[in-house]
Chains A and B, each alone.
Chain A
Amino acid sequence: MRRIAGIVLAVLLIGGVVAAVVAGRQGDDKGTATKTVRGVIGSEKSDFFADPDVVKALAAKGYTVKTEASGSWAMDGLDLKGYDFAFPSSSAPADELAEKYHARQPLPRPFYSPLVVVAHRSAARVLAANGLAVLDGKGKGTLKMASYLDAARHDRTWQQLKGAKAYGELTGTLYITSTDPETSNSGALYLAAASYVANGGRVVASTADVTRTAPLLHKLVSVQGAQQPSSDSVFRDFISGAGNPLVCLYESQVVSLLAEQHGSDDLVVLYPDTTVNSDHTVVPLDDAGRALGELLSTDPTLRRLAVRHGFRPQGDSAEFVRATADRAAYLNQTLTGVRQAPVPTSAVLHEMARRARG
């Protein structure tokens, strides 16, 4: 009897599943006529793709975009079968992926964002008082990279800096928190910027250059202990009041935070006097992926929405300046006095990261 009941149950179940599938299909067909495009993206672009207005703008052009976040430098370890595009945060891993998956150059680069250091006000003030930074108003300033690297080289602690005593949280070695350079783009770009300065204002290119800069880069990383895998995590720690008072991340993250919460009493954005740009580059894995990449670069609505999320669209800097006028107290809108260092090749950066972590 039990057995028969089981069979009947099974028949009912199977019928149910088939009915559900059919009903589901019909529902989909009726609802929209968009094409679903899947991609793996750097975590800092998650909010952009989740924005209802972005979803709407993409749908208007016939796309539903499904994304999953991954460290930009970890993407080459993923199986990208079934995905239409990868969207790392830098051209170096993008070029590597393009080669691996035979994606045609040039790759669409819809927007970019420079690397910045966010600081709690207490930390920024102490840095300024000790010649490590120059403040421009309350919310922004410039970080003197050469002076900072010199302090790092000598294991300078906060206690050794004048004015730090007033703030109980400022003790221990002075350092900037970054992400893991072996898997995450912002961490790798931090090393790119630091190595350029440490190498006498030249991009690190040879084995000799790597060897020369390795001890300092190792110091910058090992002092941090365990590192987070994504720029989003370090930023969330910063916002929740945990973590180190100096954190290296993308300008775009700060711009969108400020859009969410106008002004912040305890935030100073320091632009390193030598920094690097994160070039958000689409690696199309098929035609749908390429079409999406082109759309992100050219569609006026999507470009405007990219600015909402803090990115600087390629080509027209006025667009960004206009849209962020209300946050000018925190942003160096025209990147005045900020030098863009070129990023080493992917192979060199990998080697640099490996030795810095090792």
Chain B
Amino acid sequence: MNRRVLPALLAAAAVVLAGCTTEDHGDDSTAPKPGTLRVLASSELSDMTAVFDRVRKDTGVTIRPTYMGTLDAIDLLAKGKADGKYDALWLSSDDYLRLRPQAAKKVVSETSIMSSPVAIGVRPATVKALGWKPADVTWSQIEQAVEAGKLTYGMTDPARSNSGFSTLVSVASALSGAQSALTDDDVLKATPRLRKFFKGQKLTSGSSGWLATAYQRRTDVDALLNYESVLKGIPDLTVIRPSDGVLTADYPFSSLASTSSATREDVRRVTQDLRTTAVQKLITDTTRRRPVVASVPPAAGLDTTRRRELPFPGTKSVADGLISAFENDLRRPSRTIYVLDTSGSMKGDRLSRLKTALTDLTSDFRNREEITLMPFASGVKSVRTHVVDPRDKRAGLDGIRQDTAALTADGSTAIYTSLEKAYDNLRVERDTFTSIVLMTDGENTAGAKAGDFDGFYRGLPLAQRNIPVFPILFGDSSRAELQHIADLTGGRLFDARQGSLDGAFEEIRGYQ
């Protein structure tokens, strides 16, 4: 081996080794690979696995999806954080993306693949009780049923998920009486009616998947608002497209400006395959979305009578104004207890990461929101509640920041005893979205045992059993232990070991 080659090989080896190390604890879905398209995709596209398999068979290209709420994905794109990490984008709709020039310029070509309108899925018994004829139900009728206390529903968070946002636009368009694309005035005019309409929302979620699961365990929720395709996948729902108009998602597969021509060629081959008769048929049969080629009829059970298509807002000010009105004024406020592990093992870096994450989170709290910090170790150390009062937002948020800064780490880990305390604190029922966030970096070492907590939880009255715990996996905490808590209470586990603690807190916002 001559002298010139050796250093080059050593350098190459170093690269390979470095690559191995990053992969060990990094997210390997961000590593580029020829023949693989790293696709940033809307969460509900997780039902497309059979289609991805088929595309791989047809084209040899593997689709590797990373699922995310549509609006979060757009945010990532706008901040340039998707450059080099993803090869393509597949959202339920690019309408909102186009209102953000920073994000829109990252996209070069778009190809619609399939469509699904917003709809309401209602328990058949409720449909009967209301005397509804599914083909003729209007948004005003849904509104009347809500106001009469005869209909409650769940929907996803419009600030994160496109299904939630499309639902919000549909409802606002219909109830404002707007004849064309919504304006700021329309939103203002519709506010009183919208506030009443959203009183009926009993369940919120950051993703369509969890919404469906949560709905199935709740007996006090009569309906779900989401895309037709999602609702059709849930057993025992009568799916209604309101006759006065809906918004439709058209799932454009888009290539990104930051990619190479070889990658774009792969995107082109994939989109071409997705448009073939055979794949379009597979799509509609397995996912209940509607095909976009004329030779393939929609799957059996998809009603083909026409609906007015409500226009999506044409300006960012209207879209953002609507989201902001919803979050801060129209929806029921949220009420959350943060049960935070501040045992000895949190000392140092972990505690400072917790403090940073919590402090960052304060910019995200909504008006009227109630936040309780409950740090614990061998037992609950303190219980401090803050409310974000629209007349003086600063006061509440500063309070949270001060309490966060004062956190110290010492003692053992009494997870279950502290959770029981949190539920005790929520005994008085209020008209809010109530939940508990549990962040711990270790296993339970003191106080009540898992079995004790199970018994405690089962003995709670129904209203409290409806309060989910969202545990965050961090440090050396036990996945099995936390998964059990999530399953028992109808919550969802978030993993801050894969991503970051900030990211986990942020993601849970969609469920609060």
Contact = CB atoms under 8 A, between A and B. Distances in A.
B306 A50 contact: no
B108 A78 contact: yes
Interface string B250-263: 10100100000100
A78 B257 CA distance: 9
B313 A226 contact: yes
B250 to A, nearest CB: 6
B58 to A, nearest CB: 14
Interface in B306-362: 306-314
B308 A11 contact: no
B290 A236 contact: no
A260 B295 contact: yes
Contacts of A229: 94, 98, 110
Given A169-B308, A222-B314, A260-B294, A230 B245 contact: no
A213 interface: no
Contacts of B261: 38, 66, 68, 82
B252 to A, nearest CB: 7
B293 A168 contact: no
A120 B314 contact: no
Contacts of A223: 180-181, 311
A173 B179 contact: yes
Nearest to A170: B308
Given A69-B109, A70-B109, A120 B291 contact: no
B10 interface: yes
Contacts of B450: none
Interface string A199-235: 0000000000000000000000111111101101100
Contact of A227 (B13, B15, B252, B314): B314
B114 A240 contact: yes
B459 to A, nearest CB: 49
Contacts of B398: none
B308 A9 contact: no
B183 to A, nearest CB: 9
A173 B110 CA distance: 28
B248 interface: yes
Contacts of B310: 172
Contacts of B406: none
Interface in B2-28: 9-10, 12-13, 15-17, 20
Nearest to B244: A171
B129 to A, nearest CB: 24
Interface stretch (B61-69, B80-88, B264-272, B462-470): B264-272
Contact of A240 (B13, B291, B308): B291
A175 interface: yes
Interface residues of B, number: 55
A3 B17 CA distance: 8
Interface stretch (A96-104, A108-116, A242-250, A297-305): A242-250
Contact of A233 (B10, B245, B250, B311): B250
A68 B109 contact: yes
B226 interface: no
Given A7-B10, A122-B306, A226-B313, A68 B292 contact: no
Interface in A15-65: 38, 43, 50
A241 interface: yes
Contacts of B108: 68, 70, 78
The number of chain A residues touching the other chain, given as a range, is 35 or more
A157 interface: yes
Given A172-B245, A240-B114, A120 B306 contact: yes
A168 B243 contact: yes
A236 B112 CA distance: 7
Contacts of A180: 98
A264 interface: yes
A239 interface: yes
B219 interface: no
Contacts of B265: 66
A166 interface: no
Contacts of B20: 6
B319 to A, nearest CB: 8
Name which of A157, A169, A175, A241 has the most chain B CB atoms within 10 A of its CB: A241
Interface in A170-192: 170-173, 175, 180
A155 B179 contact: yes
A241 B291 CA distance: 9
A242 B117 contact: yes
A105 interface: no
A241 B313 contact: no
A102 to B, nearest CB: 23
A66 B114 CA distance: 25
Contacts of A226: 95, 98-99, 181, 311-314
A38 B252 CA distance: 23
A241 B109 CA distance: 23
B111 interface: yes
B309 A242 contact: yes
A225 B252 contact: no
15 contacts: A3-B13, A38-B261, A66-B265, A67-B268, A68-B261, A120-B306, A168-B306, A168-B307, A222-B180, A222-B181, A224-B314, A225-B313, A226-B313, A239-B293, A240-B291
**CB-based closest 7 A-B pairs:** A225-B181, A225-B311, A242-B248, A10-B13, A236-B292, A169-B306, A226-B312
Interface of A: 3, 6-7, 9-11, 13-14, 38, 43, 50, 66-70, 78, 82, 120, 122, 155, 157, 167-173, 175, 180, 221-227, 229-230, 232-233, 236-237, 239-245, 257, 260-261, 264
Given A68-B109, A241-B298, 13 more contacts: A3-B17, A10-B12, A10-B15, A43-B109, A67-B268, A155-B180, A169-B307, A170-B308, A223-B180, A233-B112, A241-B306, A242-B250, A257-B294
